[in-house]
Structure 1
Amino acid sequence: MNRAGPATEARMIRRTALAAGLQAALAVAVTVGVLCGVAVLVLLRSQEADQNAMLTTTVQRTDDVTDPPAGVWLAIARSGRLDTSPGLPPAALDRSALAATAADGATRTSDISVPHGQYRTLTERRGDEVVQAVLDLHPAHVERGRLLKAQLVTGAIGLVLAAAAGTWSGRRAIVPLARALSLQRRFVADAGHELRTPLTLISTRAQLLQRHAANSPLKSEVDDLVTDAHQLTEILEDLLLAADPSQESPRRRIELTTIVRDAVSAARPAATEHGVRLDLADSPPVTVEGTEVALRRAVAALLDNGIRHAAGTLSVTVLPSGKHVTITVTDDGPGIDPAVMPTMFARFASGPPASESPGGRRRYGLGLALVSEIAARHGGTVSAHNATTGGAILRLTLPRVS
């Protein structure tokens, strides 16, 4: 167990709080971006509508090229003569529109871009003359630029404030949880420390007994006792690693069929005590990647659950299929109570005891929750359902390594 606890926990809290702040900033950025896009779109449409309305009004109501509204110039073509407002940029005049409208009488609108400006024109026939109004778009562009700058500044300030507020609120929300997890890890570490000594004594005495029973009829049982003591020590170490988020259990390639076969062999005494026949179907070697002790715990928990609820037979198969391998444990018991099916892999979610439930229905506790967690740690899944012929089927599926 890693004892650099306070410093490690402080770093985890800072990282988590920073992540919360960044997520808040990202959410604000997306929101601000959408709102800014909508605002710019509304502004563009509003400006375009106002510009078109101004051009239309100017063309319809102004008769003198010398007195157009501010920012607008007029060009009137009549009897082969073209009169223009003073100051009209020559490049802004759309002569092709004037000629086309004079020919067909259609109203035309066009945008003209030149190196030093952008203009919009409206050309319309009015009686025996053709009138063209030219609007300078520079003021609209300036107004649009001011709006975009204001939005960028307020958006940047909002992002900074959102990140700071998210970090602060995230830290406040995480600290109590971090403290609870710290207490849990300390409890596991202390419990593990207290259990190490008696486990060491049990293992030592079992080994001494193994030496004395070398030529005894009890040799096989004593050998199993030594193996069980060793596996119990490994389980304790794996639990301590799993409780420490700063540590990772070592992973390696594991032959899963052997683990299942050993777990079935270790579970036979318990099955015999319950009057259950334990059958293991033949299976080819299958390799997975993970922690041997954790996988052994998961298989043992599935077998223990099946033995407790089987009526007389418990079948175990290891079936490779494509990129996955599935361990299936099938019993002939009363099946899974539908009331506990949705939560049967949750911690401490158990059904009523078999003696109190109708038909001797099964109960569930911590074992299947541990199987679910181990499966998730190994990138796998665990599932359960009732067989059509009675009994329950539990499946542990893991990624297969070729």
Structure 2
Amino acid sequence: KVYLIGMGPGNAKQLTKEAAECLKECDAVIGAERILKLCLAYSNKPFYSCYKREEIAEILEKHPNYQKAAIVYSGDIGFYSGAKGMKEFLEGYEVHPVSGISSVIYFLNLLSVPWEQTELISCHGKQANFISRIKYQRWVCVLLGTKDAAKQICKMLLAYHMENIRVTVGERLSYPEERILSGLPGQFQEMEVDPLAVMLLENTAPLEKKVVSGIEDSFFIRGSVPMTKQEIRILSLAKLSLTEQSVVYDIGAGTGSVSIEAALHCKDGKVYAIEKEKEGIRLIQENKIRFGADNLNVVEGIAPECLKELPAPTHVFIGGSSGRLLEIIYAIREKKEKVRFVMNVATLETLAQIEQLKEAFPEYREMEVVQVNIARGRELGRYHLMEAQNPVTIVSFGKEDGR
């Protein structure tokens, strides 16, 4: 029998009675060095300092005489825990989960913040897209992971003009030397904190997030660079069928209107706005700040050459190809074959390239082609006339992962 035990935030007083009883019964205890120290008062059996799943499974295999073993983890085993996936390595064992108190829950209770209304994210070993979250959420709680994480987050808040976000950091939670620090981002931008600290961001005036696509054109910072208009953008994004984890290329991004909306949809994904014009790059950067799209990466260059160092996409929007459509498709397929493509076509020359595309890739022959004609009302004296916009053809093909 193997117990997966959540040991709480660190102080033995926060250990549950069930966890203490399981530790007393066990023939061996396995876990990270820091967590094992908590177990000394409850077990005098062999301790193994180890946290990698494969190595833990190997220890158990080498000691079949252990009738009961405990694998211990900080906090709770169900919240950003090393216990995730451990059961798969314990085939043949009876696995019994033992819940613990997460440091986040301890911290939020200390601050009287209702955690069911708080978005919880982790920076442990990964980059978290928290700007777009705090823009639309009152509370965001972050597991930091490094001593520099707090100041990096606060510098980013300042870069996105969020200097009024309230910041609270909890260090060494539940220990005698526990410390709670509160202030504004400017006060934390040079501060190093304990790597295992927890941060709460509070936005007292969060924006209301739209459920559907279609940011008004007037909301974007615009110049002389072309922009995908609202109605075409809505249809194009619908055809892309993005998920929250999508990795998106926007090739020929212009002012970045498609990139911005895609980034706001893909809160756990990444968007790469590829643009060759200097003014376009500047506008995308400014719109990125305006909309808090911190998961949007701006790439200056010409496709396909500038795509080489980017991660493989799941979805690609092509607003402009500079006559190199086939080269771009070939380059993307070298990274990943199963990709969802959506194109906006305004010229007959590009439409002609679509036929070449079908010949090169037979699987794209059943692509969907929709032509959209938009007319906008315009006042003329006492009357209102409908003024036609340029027709746009939306071409969709390819399916992510074969779906």
The TM-score with structure 2 as length reference comes to: 0.23
| More helix per residue | 1
Larger Rg: 1
TM-score (norm 1): 0.23
